[in-house]
Protein backbone atom coordinates (compact mmCIF):
# COMPACT_ATOMS: atom_id res chain seq x y z
CA UNK A 1 0.00 0.00 0.00
CA UNK A 2 1.33 3.42 -0.95
CA UNK A 3 0.96 6.28 1.53
CA UNK A 4 1.01 9.88 0.34
CA UNK A 5 0.02 13.01 2.28
CA UNK A 6 -3.09 14.69 0.92
CA UNK A 7 -1.17 17.84 -0.08
CA UNK A 8 1.09 15.89 -2.49
CA UNK A 9 -0.47 14.28 -5.55
CA UNK A 10 1.90 11.75 -7.14
CA UNK A 11 1.25 11.26 -10.86
CA UNK A 12 2.74 8.71 -13.24
CA UNK A 13 0.73 8.97 -16.48
CA UNK A 14 0.15 5.82 -18.53
CA UNK A 15 1.50 7.76 -21.52
CA UNK A 16 4.99 7.86 -19.91
CA UNK A 17 7.06 4.83 -18.90
CA UNK A 18 6.66 3.51 -15.35
CA UNK A 19 9.43 5.11 -13.22
CA UNK A 20 8.52 3.30 -9.97
CA UNK A 21 11.03 0.44 -10.45
CA UNK A 22 13.74 3.10 -10.73
CA UNK A 23 12.85 4.87 -7.47
CA UNK A 24 11.10 8.05 -8.56
CA UNK A 25 7.84 9.54 -9.89
CA UNK A 26 7.37 11.72 -12.96
CA UNK A 27 5.15 14.39 -11.40
CA UNK A 28 4.41 15.60 -7.88
CA UNK A 29 1.69 18.23 -7.66
CA UNK A 30 1.79 20.25 -4.44
CA UNK A 31 -1.66 21.33 -3.27
CA UNK A 32 -2.65 23.59 -0.36
CA UNK A 33 0.41 23.71 1.85
CA UNK A 34 1.62 26.05 4.58
CA UNK A 35 5.29 25.17 4.93
CA UNK A 36 8.10 24.56 2.46
CA UNK A 37 11.18 22.76 3.79
CA UNK A 38 14.45 23.02 1.86
CA UNK A 39 17.09 20.53 2.97
CA UNK A 40 20.61 21.39 1.87
CA UNK A 41 22.72 18.76 0.17
CA UNK A 42 23.33 15.89 2.56
CA UNK A 43 26.39 13.75 2.10
CA UNK A 44 27.19 10.46 3.75
CA UNK A 45 28.86 11.93 6.84
CA UNK A 46 27.90 10.34 10.15
CA UNK A 47 27.26 12.51 13.26
CA UNK A 48 31.03 12.62 13.90
CA UNK A 49 31.69 13.97 10.41
CA UNK A 50 33.22 10.69 9.26
CA UNK A 51 32.67 9.55 5.68
CA UNK A 52 32.75 5.90 4.60
CA UNK A 53 34.69 5.06 1.43
CA UNK A 54 31.79 2.75 0.40
CA UNK A 55 29.26 4.25 -2.05
CA UNK A 56 26.26 2.31 -0.68
CA UNK A 57 27.08 3.32 2.88
CA UNK A 58 27.34 6.99 1.84
CA UNK A 59 23.93 6.76 0.14
CA UNK A 60 22.29 5.13 3.19
CA UNK A 61 23.83 7.68 5.56
CA UNK A 62 22.86 10.61 3.33
CA UNK A 63 19.21 9.50 3.28
CA UNK A 64 19.36 8.93 7.05
CA UNK A 65 20.65 12.50 7.35
CA UNK A 66 17.69 13.72 5.28
CA UNK A 67 15.36 11.82 7.64
CA UNK A 68 17.03 13.46 10.65
CA UNK A 69 16.59 16.91 9.08
CA UNK A 70 12.92 16.16 8.34
CA UNK A 71 12.37 14.93 11.92
CA UNK A 72 13.72 18.26 13.22
CA UNK A 73 10.82 20.10 11.55
CA UNK A 74 8.11 17.48 12.06
CA UNK A 75 8.19 16.20 8.48
CA UNK A 76 8.48 12.73 6.96
CA UNK A 77 9.95 11.21 3.81
CA UNK A 78 6.49 11.18 2.19
CA UNK A 79 6.38 15.00 2.50
CA UNK A 80 9.26 15.27 0.01
CA UNK A 81 8.12 16.42 -3.41
CA UNK A 82 11.54 16.74 -5.08
CA UNK A 83 14.98 15.19 -4.68
CA UNK A 84 18.16 16.23 -6.45
CA UNK A 85 20.80 13.52 -6.35
CA UNK A 86 24.45 14.04 -7.27
CA UNK A 87 26.68 11.02 -7.94
CA UNK A 88 30.43 11.14 -8.56
CA UNK A 89 31.55 8.93 -11.48
CA UNK A 90 27.99 7.71 -12.04
CA UNK A 91 27.57 4.27 -13.59
CA UNK A 92 24.95 1.51 -13.80
CA UNK A 93 26.19 -0.22 -10.65
CA UNK A 94 25.86 2.97 -8.59
CA UNK A 95 22.46 3.63 -10.19
CA UNK A 96 21.17 0.21 -9.11
CA UNK A 97 22.55 0.70 -5.59
CA UNK A 98 20.74 4.06 -5.38
CA UNK A 99 17.48 2.51 -6.58
CA UNK A 100 17.69 -0.36 -4.06
CA UNK A 101 18.35 2.00 -1.16
CA UNK A 102 15.57 4.38 -2.19
CA UNK A 103 13.18 1.43 -2.39
CA UNK A 104 14.15 0.54 1.19
CA UNK A 105 13.59 4.09 2.48
CA UNK A 106 10.33 4.57 0.54
CA UNK A 107 9.12 0.97 1.01
CA UNK A 108 5.46 1.82 1.70
CA UNK A 109 5.23 5.19 -0.04
CA UNK A 110 5.20 6.60 -3.52
CA UNK A 111 8.49 8.04 -4.67
CA UNK A 112 9.07 11.80 -4.98
CA UNK A 113 10.15 13.38 -8.24
CA UNK A 114 13.91 13.04 -8.57
CA UNK A 115 16.67 14.37 -10.80
CA UNK A 116 19.98 12.50 -10.86
CA UNK A 117 22.99 14.61 -11.82
CA UNK A 118 26.31 12.89 -12.57
CA UNK A 119 29.23 15.03 -11.37
CA UNK A 120 33.01 14.78 -11.44
CA UNK A 121 33.49 15.87 -7.81
CA UNK A 122 31.61 17.14 -4.77
CA UNK A 123 32.57 19.52 -1.94
CA UNK A 124 34.98 17.01 -0.37
CA UNK A 125 37.14 14.80 -2.56
CA UNK A 126 36.06 11.67 -0.67
CA UNK A 127 32.31 12.38 -1.16
CA UNK A 128 30.67 10.05 -3.69
CA UNK A 129 27.02 11.02 -3.14
CA UNK A 130 24.90 13.99 -2.13
CA UNK A 131 21.13 14.52 -1.98
CA UNK A 132 19.04 17.63 -1.39
CA UNK A 133 15.30 17.65 -0.82
CA UNK A 134 12.29 19.94 -0.91
CA UNK A 135 9.33 18.97 1.28
CA UNK A 136 5.89 20.53 1.66
CA UNK A 137 3.71 20.35 4.75
CA UNK A 138 0.12 21.43 5.25
Q: What is the pTM of this model?
A: 0.85
Measured CA to CA, the distance from residue 107 to residue 63 in angstroms comes to: 13
pLDDT tens digits, 38-69: 999 999 999 999 999 999 999 999 999 999 99
Question: Please, which pLDDT band fits residue 1 given cuts at 50, 70 and 90?
Answer: very low
More confident residue, 1 or 103: 103
pLDDT score for 4: 57
Residue 43: strand, helix, or coil: coil
3 state SS for 4-27: CCCCEEEECCCCCCCCHHHCCECE
Q: Does residue 41 or residue 4 have the better pLDDT?
A: 41
Give the CA angle between residues 120, 126, 127 to the nearest 5°.
Answer: 65
What are the structural domains, with CATH classification, of the chain? 8-137 (3.30.1330.40)
Amino acid sequence: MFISPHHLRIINPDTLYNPQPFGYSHIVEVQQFRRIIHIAGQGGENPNGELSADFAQQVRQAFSNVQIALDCVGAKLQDIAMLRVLIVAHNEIKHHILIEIMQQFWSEQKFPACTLIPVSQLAKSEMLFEVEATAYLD
